[in-house]
């Protein structure tokens, strides 16, 4: 449980951070450290150098953005919970964040760190997929925007290049009257999701006009549930919800582990998808 030796550097500005990342040399970015440090202790990650960006004020905070919101990469979970903008416009973010770790984790862990780490059992990636978030990233070579659905590529693998840094997360405005929900079943000792689902649903005259669901903790990475498209244009009858939930795990490579066999995870995911959809539908106006 002791990491290999490494050099530590603290960035004094965004420009400074990007310059250091451009040098390569196996540099890993750290802010809260609650994702990176545990894997370093197990020596699953052995960076030669850590670049601390926690004190970069330009990467922190929540602000309004085109009727949606922009969230800085080093914004902590605690700051997400304290944000009136997010609670009013994106209650699913608060609902998810309340279940992440304990207060120590929420006081230090950051949204950008969680997304860049891309743990298959992490809560926040599923919420970002359901909200169709966009991540603005930057390097010395330039700046680009990556949609959440294109960002997560494999377990602990993202579209982020080694010299790139997440600047912020942009959340587009929800459809009018949309209902949202996030539910998960966690493994008690670790707090990680054995299965979790995020849903965004909107109705027009009792007919579903928008339905997006994303799963986490099941399969190789957080991903969208394509079967949710079947709900659009319907009244979301209970029988249809059951079919969508049953199809939510189709094509997923679900692996069993010491906590649960694959068959249990599959069943759990189906139950959680249905319950999450039901809750989002209840909240849709």
9 alpha-carbon distance from chain centroid: 27
Q: What is the pTM of this model?
A: 0.96
CATH number at residue 87: 3.30.465.10
Verify that 156 and 184 share a domain, yes or no.
no
CATH number at residue 273: 3.30.390.50
CA–CA separation, 95 vs 93, rounded Å?
A: 5
Verify that 247 and 272 share a domain, yes or no.
yes
Residue 12: CB partners within 8 Å, gap ≥ 6?
Answer: none
pLDDT at residue 259, as a whole number: 83
Q: What is the pLDDT of residues 204-243, one digit of tens each?
A: 999 999 999 999 999 999 999 999 999 999 999 999 999 9
pLDDT at residue 154, as a whole number: 96
CA–CA separation, 193 vs 187, rounded Å?
A: 6
Verify that 45 and 142 share a domain, yes or no.
no
Verify that 167 and 190 share a domain, yes or no.
no
Verify that 71 and 167 share a domain, yes or no.
yes
What average pLDDT does range 234-254 have in this prediction?
96
- Report which secondary-structure segment, H or E, holds 111: helix 111-117
pLDDT at residue 256, as a whole number: 86
Among 127, 146, 171, the domain-final residue is 171
Q: Which of 82-86, 161-165, 218-222, 254-258 has the lowest mean pLDDT?
A: 254-258
Among 125, 142, 171, the domain-final residue is 171
Q: Is the predicted pLDDT of residue 34 greater than 90, yes or no?
A: no
User: What's the chain's Rg over C-alpha atoms?
Assistant: 19
Q: Is the predicted pLDDT of residue 1 greater than 90, yes or no?
A: no
In this prediction, residue 27 has a pLDDT band, given cuts at 50, 70 and 90, of: very high
Range of the domain at 146: 57-171
> CB neighbours (10 Å) of residue 144?
13
Give the chain's domain count. Answer: 3
User: What burial class does residue 220 get, using C-beta atoms within 10 Å of its C-beta: 0-12 exposed, 13-18 middle, 19+ buried?
Assistant: middle
Verify that 145 and 205 share a domain, yes or no.
no
- Report which secondary-structure segment, H or E, holds 276: helix 262-283
């Amino acid at each position: 449980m002791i990491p290999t030796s490494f050099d530590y550097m603290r960035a004094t500005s965004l420009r400074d951070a990007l310059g250091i990342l451009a040098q390569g040399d196996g540099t890993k970015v750290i802010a809260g450290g609650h994702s990176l440090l545990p894997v370093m202790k197990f020596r699953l990650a052995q960076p030669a150098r850590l670049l601390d960006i926690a004190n970069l004020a330009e990467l922190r905070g929540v602000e309004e953005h085109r009727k949606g919101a922009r969230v800085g990469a080093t914004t902590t979970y605690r700051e997400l919970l304290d944000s009136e903008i997010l609670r009013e416009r994106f209650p699913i973010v608060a609902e998810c964040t309340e279940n992440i770790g304990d207060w120590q984790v929420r006081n230090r862990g950051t949204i950008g760190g969680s997304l860049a780490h891309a743990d298959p059992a992490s809560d926040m990636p599923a919420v970002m997929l359901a909200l169709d978030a966009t991540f603005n990233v930057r390097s010395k070579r330039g700046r680009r925007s990556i949609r959440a659905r294109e960002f997560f590529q494999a377990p602990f693998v993202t579209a982020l290049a080694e010299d790139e840094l997440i600047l912020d997360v942009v959340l587009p405005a929800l459809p009018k009257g949309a209902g949202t929900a996030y539910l998960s079943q966690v493994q008690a000792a670790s707090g990680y999701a054995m299965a979790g689902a995020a849903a965004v649903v909107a109705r027009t005259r009792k007919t579903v006009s928008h339905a997006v669901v994303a799963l986490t903790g099941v399969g190789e990475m957080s991903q969208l549930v394509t079967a949710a498209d079947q709900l659009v244009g319907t009244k979301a009858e209970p029988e249809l919800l059951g079919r969508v939930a049953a199809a939510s795990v189709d094509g997923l490579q679900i692996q069993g582990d010491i906590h649960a066999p694959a068959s249990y995870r599959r069943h759990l995911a189906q139950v959680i998808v249905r319950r999450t959809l039901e809750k989002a539908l209840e909240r849709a106006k």
